[in-house]
Structure 1
Amino acid sequence: MVINDSQNWRMIDMKFAMIGAGAMGLRYGILLQEAGNDVTFIDTWQPHIDRIREQGGVYVMRDHKDRQLTKIKLETPESYNGDPDMFIFFVKQMQLDGYLKRCAHFFNDRQYAFTCMNGMGHIEKLQKYFADDKIIGGTALIATVLPGPGEVDFMGKRGAGKMNMCPLDEKPDEMTHKLFNELDKAQMHPTLTDDFTGTLMTKVIFNSVINTLCTMFEIPMGELGNFKGFYSMGRQLIDEAYDICARADIHLVSTRDEEMAALDRNVRIDMPLHYPSMYQDMIKDRPTEVDYINGYIAELGRKYHYEAATHLFVTQAVHLAEFHRQNEAKKRVAKKQAELQRQTA
């Protein structure tokens, strides 16, 4: 159910600190900055930090075109000492604990935390540092790529994509509406919902199909959508997840048919050339978040005495793809070392 956000809330600029200057962090932060907000980025990836400081900002593209330098404020957790209205968290699930510990010295009980991170498990970590009435969760259907240090590629035309958001206590306050207005000004197309867990889980289920299948076979979303077996594969994953959520009394924000229709539109029409973030992590030899997506669904199933066999299989299949790539990388290194030894013998 969607709440009608028709109240005339006062439009004011906000002060944000973006925890994580990766692909999505840069997209949200830069668009909020362009909408008139004060945004500081906080990151820990040193090659990225060095490149941004060296070139005086981030090179921003749209669909691989119109590469332009955008100036940003960038700090590390240790160098930042600001007091923003709101922190926005866009880091990988497995990185969040470390970021929170390094950033804890500038948190206070007045500040809010907002996140549209993939997967599940991050809200419990945020609750250790922020009160429930100051945590806002969300989901984003927005494609962005980080080609390398110091550059980002916004996929789709300006205004492409959409997102959902909901406060953890499901009681939107003035700050929730201020955030909504700023995201709307930034053309992120937010929708305010009234079921926190249902909102987040609906996106987890969405990602459990597209992210994992594209990553397993290293294909773009359009190729997945054009495969004649896509519907049956996707529906099997959706049905398992929806069955589990029914047992857990989680009220999802779309029906099974609506979820499948959204998947179909996303892969065939909206973003057929896009590779999901999980694939981007794997090909760059970074750990994937599959345990926080399909793995989370399977664990939730076990809690409610439901064996999510397909999600369990897909989770291990992604790990097998990671394992294979790691072995191939080791073989290439060993081959190169052997060639060097022969040349110097």
Structure 2
Amino acid sequence: MKIAVMGAGAVGCYYGAMLARAGHDVTLIGRPDHVEAMNRDGLLLDFGATQEFVSVTASTDAVAIAGAELVLFCVKSTDTQSAGEQIKPFISKDTIILSLQNGVDNAERLSVVLGQPVIPVVVYVATSMGGAGHVKHHGRGELVMGPSDQSRIVADTLRPAGIPIEISENAAGALWAKMILNCAYNALSAITQLPYGKLVEGEGVGNVMRNAVEECLAVARKDGVTVPDHVWEAIEKIAQTMPTQFSSTAQDLARGKPSEIDYLNGYIVRKGTEFGIPTPTNLTLFALTKLQEGKAS
């Protein structure tokens, strides 16, 4: 299959590399330094104990998406609209679009821009960029996808490439569960610049995380979303399965880049205000992260 990845960051590069090594024709759209390295040497897929260069095509221009049957949309939530407008001229009504992004409303926002359906996908993978054209995998890698007429095609493409994927009837609940996990970890990891395993050992951190999660659940219930019952157990498991992982927000701040905090804890604060639900813990995490973001930039 001809596959394009819009947003060749850590998530996009990992899944693009996995699909390319399985034999698919993969094109990645990214920043000039990454594109140059990938076109020169290939994409370095680093599992820690083993590394391999995977042959891909890379470009800085969205025109390279033309002809793709499947697009993995992996840009930051802050860039959803602008990146959607970039790819719109180069996709067809038959192009399958997957949103592999944090937050709960990106697929909906992207669908409005493109004028066609977008499948929301929940991502559970620990990755980081080790340098230009170098993606490091730290753990996990499974996806959860909403049901659609195209979901079976997607699953049959990804699973043979070593990408576990589940088709869930409660895609909204799965998206919210992932966002709640992000609301528990991302800001704290960013503020402290600590990985998950070290973070949860901090005095009082568990209570802060629980308070943030309870606020998120209250907002979700008011919004009519059924979040899976095991959400807190899943949050605790993250520190065990990804102990060395820094949140994407922490990685953004470490590089002096804008974060997605407006679409995580900030989203909960806005919805809480709309519904009349107090969200003091999420507000504090949001405000402190914005201060750190301003300082880093």
Query: Which interval holds the TM-score relative to the shorter structure?
Result: over 0.9
Runs in 1 of length 4+ with deviation above 6 angstroms? none
Letter in 1 for 2:7: G
Distance 2:119 2:65 in 1: 23
The aligned counterpart of 2:12 is 25
| TM-aligned CA deviation for residue 130 of structure 1 | 4.0
The aligned counterpart of 2:33 is 47
Letter in 2 for 1:248: D
Give deviations 1:185-205, integer Å, cap 9, x for gaps: 223221111123222111111
Give deviations 1:237-294, integer Å, cap 9, x for gaps: 1110101111111111x22xx2221111211x21111111111110000001111100
Distance 2:65 2:295 in 1: 43
Matched, 1:72 2:56: yes
Match of 2:142 among 162, 165, 177: 162
Distance 2:65 2:57 in 1: 13
Q: Give the secondary-structure state (helix, strand or coil) at the position aligned to 1:208.
A: helix
CA change 1:313–1:68 in 2 (3 A) is: same
The aligned counterpart of 1:123 is 107
The aligned counterpart of 2:288 is 317
Give deviations 1:122-175, integer Å, cap 9, x for gaps: 22331124455x32111111011012222111113xxx33221104xxxx32x2
The aligned counterpart of 2:217 is 242
Within 5 A, what are the aligned runs for 1:202-221?
202-221=177-196
| TM-aligned CA deviation for residue 183 of structure 1 | 2.1
Match of 2:82 among 98, 104, 114: 98
Letter in 2 for 1:137: P
| TM-aligned CA deviation for residue 81 of structure 1 | 5.8
**Cα pair 1:220 1:272 within 8 Å, conserved:** yes
Match of 1:142 among 119, 125, 141: 125
- Count of residue pairs the alignment pairs up: 297
Match of 1:285 among 235, 245, 256: 256
Two-structure CA RMSD over aligned residues (Å): 1.8
Matched, 1:232 2:217: no
| TM-aligned CA deviation for residue 90 of structure 1 | 0.5
**Cα pair 1:234 1:260 within 8 Å, conserved:** no
Distance 2:266 2:62 in 1: 33
Unaligned runs of 5+ in 2: none
The aligned counterpart of 1:223 is 198
Letter in 2 for 1:163: L
Q: Give the secondary-structure state (helix, strand or coil) at the position aligned to 1:306.
A: coil
Match of 1:58 among 14, 30, 43: 43
Q: TM-score, normalised by structure 2?
A: 0.93
Matched, 1:87 2:71: yes
Letter in 2 for 1:62: F
Distance 1:201 1:282 in 2: 24
Q: Give the secondary-structure state (helix, strand or coil) at the position aligned to 1:288.
A: coil
Distance 1:80 1:323 in 2: 34
Matched, 1:183 2:166: no
Match of 1:261 among 233, 241, 257: 233
| TM-aligned CA deviation for residue 114 of structure 1 | 0.4
Letter in 1 for 2:118: I
**Cα pair 1:245 1:251 within 8 Å, conserved:** yes
Give deviations 1:30-81, integer Å, cap 9, x for gaps: 11222332222122x112222223x331222113x43332211112335426
Matched, 1:36 2:61: no
**Cα pair 2:104 2:172 within 8 Å, conserved:** no
Distance 2:32 2:25 in 1: 23
Letter in 1 for 2:9: G
| TM-aligned CA deviation for residue 213 of structure 1 | 0.9
**Cα pair 1:162 1:190 within 8 Å, conserved:** yes
Q: Give the secondary-structure state (helix, strand or coil) at the position aligned to 1:321.
A: helix
Match of 1:305 among 247, 264, 276: 276
Q: TM-score, normalised by structure 1?
A: 0.81
